[in-house]
Structure 1
Amino acid sequence: MTRGFRPLLRGSTYAGALFAYCGALVSLPLLPFAALPALAWPSAPEGVRIVLTVLVWAVLIGVLGLARTTRRVLIACARRMLGVPLPDLAAESARSAAPGADRLRTPLWLLAHVALGWAGAQSAVLLVCAGLLLPGGWAGAEAGVSVRGWSLRPEHGWQSWAAALGCLLLAVVLCLAVTGALRWLAPRLLGPSSAERLALAAERERALAERNRLAHELHDSIGHTLTAATIQAAVAGEVLGADPEAARAALRSIEESTRAALEDLDYVLGMLREEQTGTAPPRSLADLPELLDRLRHAGAVVEPELSGDFTRVRGTAARAAYRILQEGLTNALRHGAGGPIRVTVTATPDALRLSVVNRTGPGGDSATPAFPTSGHGLPGLTERVRLLHGEITAGPDGPDHWRLTARLPVRLPA
């Protein structure tokens, strides 16, 4: 019983009714323009002129609902006043390509909004006035309410008070009904159409793909830098007393590595904030010599084999190739058992072939990792290569080596 009365005590019920009544008031400025055809036809019967005015008024309200700005305002107001979880509008191209039936939903909402507002406002005013005037002390000698031939005239005092209470209760129920009707209509007429749902889903998919790409960028860059910096710091600590120059070289390499990582981090955070950053673009194959130098400063022996004009590889393939090599070299530092790291980059007119081979241990198993790993490196590389329609393999190569190979289809510029 109490649960049934809860909606009557909520402020949102009356906020929704107020929203409907405000819609009726906003439509008033259109009424003088709607009356012009009737005024230009003075010989027509009064009933015809009233009907003509109402029809023109409805057409003007519907035309107002065709404006995209009107829909944005109505969606924002419905969220605020009705508490309906309406999503934001989809992309402009999706809205402009929406079929005619979808474009008519906003005018239909506006017409229903105004009609409910006028009907609800007039009925609520009548019921509240009746509730205030029916008790004999307010209405004078004889209490009663008459509207177009219909009258309510209680004969006794307690009947007047009961009728007044009933009118006020009906006004409250009317507010609940108007709010409920608008809440039922809002998702159906203001919610996203089929084309907008597809556009919203595509936008969410693009945003998720971009976030995954940025997460891979951050993982590859920061993970490699931390691994290299840790090894370089250990090398500097060991040779600080015996070879200060080597220690200073290791510290300079740490500085260069961390500065490059900070640039990558600034770039990724700028992309997440959708800001224009002043940092360099993501790394590409042109930065490969710098990457190899940082590994040498960390004490690793790197044997590069570069063939073909890979400096002409541009765009996504060049960035993906750099990250693949960076991840392979980072894993070699983390899990390798010493020995040289062979890096092969071969550029042909139709493909870019990459290979990183490092020594592990007897049986081809990687040594126990010296650093904690997230396990996202190789899956992230696999996803990168798959999106580029390439191929990637990683696994033991003989009894005591590990090989990471990748092939990326590219088209070199002429």
Structure 2
Amino acid sequence: MFRGIRPLLRGSTYSGALFAYCGALASLPLLPFAALPAMAWPSASWGVQVALTVLLWSVLIGVTGLAHTTRRVLIACARRMLGVPLPDPVGGRRRADRLRTSLWLLAHVVLGWAGAQLSVLLFVAALLLPGGWAGAEAGVSVNGWSLRAESGWQSWASALCCLLLAVALCLVVTYALRWLAPRLLGPSSAERLALAAERERALAERNRLAHELHDSIGHTLTAATIQAAVAGEVLDADPVAARAALRSIEESTRSALEDLDYVLGMLREEKSGTAPTRTLADLPELLDRLRHAGAVVEPELSGDHAQVRGTLSRAAYRIVQEGLTNALRHGAGGPIRVTVTAAPDSLELDVVNRTGSGSGVGGGAACGKRPDAFPTSGHGLPGLFERVRLLHGEIEAGPDGPEHWRLAVRLPVRLPA
């Protein structure tokens, strides 16, 4: 029983009814304009004048709903007063959405006026029915139907019933508006498609940011760890080399902090600084930092790297960076060969390092396996496979002879349509 009356005790029930009644009151300024044609036709009967006024009043209410701003305001008010989770409208002004808004306004006003009049009538009846409050002749009469005050418990019971009916009417009006709101103010099929596309773009952007952050921070921490170890070993014997390693740590961590600040700003949906735009032109700086860390790097850069621009150049930089990071993390020392060849129709990237124990860049897996089949810790190699797949490229990672590991990537310069 308590569960049945629980909705009657919620404030949201009465805020929804108040929303309906306010909608009815908001339509009053349109009534004088709707009554003008009836006033200009005095020869018509009273019934015709009323019907004409109501018809024109409904048309004016519907026309108000055609404005795009009206829909936004109504959605915000419905979220606030009815507690219905309605998304903001997206896309352009569609005719179907405008018509649904007009239907909502008409339903809103009709429910508001009907609910307000019946509620007032029931509340007045609840006040007048108990005998002795307003005299023996007090009562309520509507269209020939009358309810008179009588002495005794019957009048109090009738008053209580009228009061409960008025409260229940508020509940009915609120539930009716809550049922109509998603259907008339909620997203249409076109809006749902636009919202799904927007969510997909947001997820793709966050996935890209996660890759960027992993590549940048992972490489920086790996290089900084090696550089710190080198600085500690040569601090007494070669202070100059130690200071160079510390400067390299400072530069690489500052660069990583810029990446981190940008990514966090995007995740917080705040305006952040200019996005990091490290491209193939920044490869020499990256290789210099590795040399300061004590790594032996043998680069071979050929072709016109200037023709590789935009997303492809940034992705190529991150792929080489991840390959070098894994070579430092899993390699067995020795030189790291880095080959970047820019051809007119493709960009080829190779990173080869010694493994010694047979586990190199990817952790020891045969070439050609799926990325999730590699026994790696973290998301480095699977992330590379995903990045290359999105760029319509080819990637191979696996042993290259008995003592080397090779990461080979081929990216098309002109992406297919």
- How would you bin the TM-score normalised by the shorter chain? over 0.9
**Which 5+ residue runs of structure 1 have no aligned equivalent?**
none
1:125 Cα offset (Å) = 0.3
Provide closer, same or farther for how the CA distance between residues 145 and 324 of structure 1 changes in structure 2, counting only shifts above 3 A. Answer: same
Tell me if the contact between 2:230 and 2:294 (Cα under 8 Å) persists in the aligned partners. Answer: yes
Which deviations, in whole Å up to 9, do the C-alpha atoms of 1:263-297 show, x marking residues without a partner?
Answer: 22222233334444444632110100000000000
SS at match of 1:283: coil
Query: Equivalent residue for 1:27?
Result: 27
Tell me if the contact between 1:135 and 1:143 (Cα under 8 Å) persists in the aligned partners. Answer: no
Q: 1:101 aligns with which of 87, 96, 103?
A: 96
Query: Equivalent residue for 1:89?
Result: 89
Query: Equivalent residue for 1:365?
Result: 359
Number of residues of Structure 1 aligned to a counterpart in Structure 2:
403
Q: 2:412 aligns with which of 392, 409, 412?
A: 409
Tell me if the contact between 1:365 and 1:400 (Cα under 8 Å) persists in the aligned partners. Answer: no
Query: Equivalent residue for 1:65?
Result: 65
Which deviations, in whole Å up to 9, do the C-alpha atoms of 1:133-192 show, x marking residues without a partner?
Answer: 111222212342112211112544222111111111110111111111111111111110
Q: 1:176 aligns with which of 164, 171, 183?
A: 171
Structure having greater relative contact order (Cα 8 Å, sep ≥ 6): 1
Partner Cα distance (1:303, 1:212) in 2: 32
Partner Cα distance (1:409, 1:388) in 2: 8
Q: 2:224 aligns with which of 220, 223, 229?
A: 229
Tell me if the contact between 2:126 and 2:159 (Cα under 8 Å) persists in the aligned partners. Answer: yes
1:411 Cα offset (Å) = 4.1
Partner Cα distance (1:175, 1:225) in 2: 63
Counterpart amino acid of residue 350 in structure 1: D
SS at match of 2:132: helix
SS at match of 2:344: coil
Partner Cα distance (1:88, 1:280) in 2: 28
Which deviations, in whole Å up to 9, do the C-alpha atoms of 1:351-371 show, x marking residues without a partner?
Answer: 000000000124x333998xx
Partner Cα distance (2:211, 2:230) in 1: 28
How well do the aligned residues superpose, as a CA RMSD in angstroms? 1.7
Which deviations, in whole Å up to 9, do the C-alpha atoms of 1:77-125 show, x marking residues without a partner?
Answer: 11111111112222x3xx33x3x33331111011000100000000000
Tell me if the contact between 2:214 and 2:380 (Cα under 8 Å) persists in the aligned partners. Answer: yes
Q: Choose 250-259 or 196-205, whichever is displaced more.
A: 250-259
Tell me if the contact between 1:356 and 1:403 (Cα under 8 Å) persists in the aligned partners. Answer: yes
Tell me if the contact between 2:65 and 2:98 (Cα under 8 Å) persists in the aligned partners. Answer: no
Query: Equivalent residue for 2:317?
Result: 322
Query: Equivalent residue for 1:119?
Result: 114
Query: Equivalent residue for 2:264?
Result: 269
Provide closer, same or farther for how the CA distance between residues 164 and 283 of structure 1 changes in structure 2, counting only shifts above 3 A. Answer: same
Tell me if the contact between 2:361 and 2:406 (Cα under 8 Å) persists in the aligned partners. Answer: no
Query: Equivalent residue for 2:370?
Result: none
Question: Is the counterpart of residue 385 in structure 1 residue 380 in structure 2?
Answer: no
Q: Choose 32-41 or 325-334, whichever is displaced more.
A: 32-41
Query: Equivalent residue for 1:12?
Result: 12
Provide closer, same or farther for how the CA distance between residues 274 and 177 of structure 1 changes in structure 2, counting only shifts above 3 A. Answer: closer
Provide closer, same or farther for how the CA distance between residues 411 and 147 of structure 1 changes in structure 2, counting only shifts above 3 A. Answer: closer
Tell me if the contact between 2:122 and 2:162 (Cα under 8 Å) persists in the aligned partners. Answer: yes
Provide closer, same or farther for how the CA distance between residues 312 and 101 of structure 1 changes in structure 2, counting only shifts above 3 A. Answer: closer
Normalised by the length of structure 2, the TM-score is 0.93
Tell me if the contact between 1:136 and 1:142 (Cα under 8 Å) persists in the aligned partners. Answer: no
Normalised by the length of structure 1, the TM-score is 0.94
Tell me if the contact between 1:343 and 1:357 (Cα under 8 Å) persists in the aligned partners. Answer: yes
Partner Cα distance (2:361, 2:275) in 1: 36
Tell me if the contact between 1:345 and 1:353 (Cα under 8 Å) persists in the aligned partners. Answer: yes
Which deviations, in whole Å up to 9, do the C-alpha atoms of 1:201-257 show, x marking residues without a partner?
Answer: 000000000000011111100110010011000000000000111101111111111
Which deviations, in whole Å up to 9, do the C-alpha atoms of 1:302-359 show, x marking residues without a partner?
Answer: 0011110113310010000000000000000000000100000001000000000000
1:379 Cα offset (Å) = 1.4
Tell me if the contact between 1:263 and 1:279 (Cα under 8 Å) persists in the aligned partners. Answer: no
Question: Is the counterpart of residue 132 in structure 1 residue 127 in structure 2?
Answer: yes
Partner Cα distance (1:266, 1:39) in 2: 68
SS at match of 1:86: coil
Query: Equivalent residue for 1:313?
Result: 308
